Amino acid sequence: MEERITLNHRYEIIDKVGGGGMAEVFHGYDIVLHRDVGIKILRDQFIQDRDFVARFRQEACNAAGLSHPNIVNIYDCGSEHDIHYIVMEYVVGRTLKEVIEENGPLDYMTAVRYATGIASALKQAHDHSIVHCDVKSQNILIDTKGVAKITDFGIARAFGQPANGPDKNVMGSVYYLSPEQAAGQAVTPQSDLYSLGVVLFEMLTGKLPYEGSTPVEVARRHLESATPSARRYDPDIPYYLDNVITKALAKNPRLRYANDDDFLADLQDVQERLLQEARSGANPDKWGHHENPQPVSQQTMVISKTEMLDGILKPDPQPAPPPEEPEPPREKPSRFRTKKWAAIFIGAILVLCGIIYAIAGYSSGDILVPDVQGRTIVEAEAILKKSNLDYTLTEEYDPKVTPGVVIKQKPGPHARVKAGRKIQLYVSKGAEPGVVPDLRNKSLADATLLLHAAKLSLGKVTVQYKEGTAQGAVLSQSLKPGSKASPGTKVDVTVNISDGQTVVPSLSGMKVSDARERLTSMGLSVGAVKEKEDDAEKGTVIGTDPDADEVISKGSVVTLIVSKGKKEEAKKPQTAPETSSGPAASAAPKSYSVDFTVPGSGGAKQVKIVASDATSSRVLYSGSMAPGSRFHQQVTLGQDASVQFYVNGTLVEDRSL
């Protein structure tokens, strides 16, 4: 018999039960507490990716603080021999998706009961400032007792973090995506309620509200298409239940349920009405059909009208002589008929005006302008190109928006224009030079870019752990946002990291012994000491690997790069001084503008920019940047000036200046 793998001498892996894009799920056994457990293990291709590992651990942190009968409980997390795992409650059952695919639409009461349980679970998450961001039927388990449990908080974000943040490539399934997520806007608890509305629609109809041949097309329909009615697929669904779905699926969050309590209240009201109808025997199979009124009353009404007509049409046996003047009562029907026809005429005009207005609106353009606000230039260009549109750029200072990101657009989102129309994009240049940008809640890479754009620089980076705040986000800064500062001023920041991490300090100018002592005090150790020709004093530190300000785990090894002095220049015979037009003049230092836009798509990339001339080289930037982000800096270099751009350790461009 093959020996089973045991993690940390406690969790025995029995067999595989499922998997997703990031991890595989196994049935396991806790040999200490003697109970079955579920074990989620990060896939091998991601174990070297710090972003994925951090996100995987964040899943455990997000869900571990939640305890609810409709949430899969998290027991433990850890790592062993490059195996990163989360231990959770073992749920025997099927996913809601599997239940629907195998059995078809659920009866109304069961669907509403499941939705009520999940809404209650989401309320607890939202009360802890956690948005799930990936509510879908595949992430809802139905156990053997018929209890719905939600799992997989792996991409949950703190309130307000935009979908185009560092982990934008891990978004909820597009079929359940809220319009604001599809548009790259900030997620809120209402985003989860929209996704739960999609799940309720699916449970009742066996269909999804929006389909498409590509994920982009489905996302676009979430943004643009009219909200479908569940009664289109099942006319027996009660109107009051269909209204709950319609409200949950409102594209404008202001028209959607404001909070979990409002959604829960309506779901509970639906449950009560379904129970009353079931007890009364009205359509017990579906608990939603209403019988028509008795036809007897209609028949009585018809007979009554016939008798009235007969009485009017039958001639009187002894007709009275015609009156000399028209009777007053006949004027009232005449005026009534006049008003009636006037109302019909006015109504017809209004309807005709509406039709003309709609035709005019649609004939003015055949392309719906997509929303690219908050997107990088690269992303915006790709989105507009798919819509057969062009664009022009205008740069503006904006201390709140990362450089290279679209602030606004003209025409605005959802306007209709002709194919090939140029959309005016207003792109952020960061903060105005000398004005301190707001770095709070920004990543360290984005904070560095904002400071560079403002002609300021990053100062001392300290670390602190704060629960509920995104890892790597700036918690505080030494200078108040919006205040004035001289160019080159350093701004110190405090960054949120996990308890087992720290930031590589800046050691430039230190002696090796002092640098070693500094690293040791921070829980780091010195590895190799490499020498390099440099203008700095011989024996002093000129750099590190990893670079300064990079977040690493405590206990990591840091390589020191030390100056071995400038190489002695070959002695040359003395010559007459060159004139201002000769070689000496051409070798004088010059100021160059270095611009670089990070290529590619997906998640953040490690970028390193090195400037060199005939005598020296120095790192202009080293850190994490999102694809489409723009780097801009003035640099003074001597003869043979060049700049090298590295992305994820690979040289992508060697540019002569």
| Residue numbers annotated as active site | 134
Phi first, then psi, for residue 217 (nearest 5°) are -65, -40
Count other C-beta atoms under 10 Å from residue 410's C-beta.
13
Helices (H), 249-388: 260-280, 295-313, 331-363, 377-386
DSSP secondary structure, 301-328, as one string: HHHHHHHHHHHHHSPPSSPPPPPSS--G
H/E segment holding residue 12: strand 11-19
The encoded tokens of residue 72 equal 């899969």
The rounded distance, in Å, linking the Cα atoms of 175 and 177 is 6
The encoded tokens of residue 414 equal 């959802």
Query: Distances in Å between the alpha carbon of 193 and those of 121, 128, 136?
Result: 11, 16, 11
Identify which of 187, 21, 134, 55 has the alpha carbon closest to the alpha carbon of residue 470. 55
The rounded distance, in Å, linking the Cα atoms of 351 and 359 is 12
Count other C-beta atoms under 10 Å from residue 520's C-beta.
11
Identify which of 199, 192, 194, 241 has the alpha carbon closest to the alpha carbon of residue 114. 199
The encoded tokens of residue 324 equal 């000399």
Q: Pairing state of beta strands 140-143 and 148-150?
A: antiparallel
E-only strand ranges, 474-604: 474-477, 490-496, 501-503, 525-532, 541-545, 551-553, 557-563, 590-597
Identify which of 25, 110, 116, 117 has the alpha carbon closest to the alpha carbon of residue 68. 117
Report the chain's terminal Cα–Cα distance, integer Å.
67
Count other C-beta atoms under 10 Å from residue 316's C-beta.
6
Count other C-beta atoms under 10 Å from residue 159's C-beta.
13
Cβ atoms of 172 and 215 closer than 8 Å: no
Sheet holding 490-496, edge to edge: 457-464, 490-496, 474-477
The rounded distance, in Å, linking the Cα atoms of 405 and 331 is 71
For helices 260-280 and 108-127, the axis angle rounded to 10 degrees is 160
Degrees to nearest 5, angle at CA 439 with 159 and 163: 35
Sheet holding 406-410, edge to edge: 390-396, 422-428, 406-410
The rounded distance, in Å, linking the Cα atoms of 655 and 643 is 5
The rounded distance, in Å, linking the Cα atoms of 302 and 618 is 96
Cβ atoms of 278 and 109 closer than 8 Å: yes
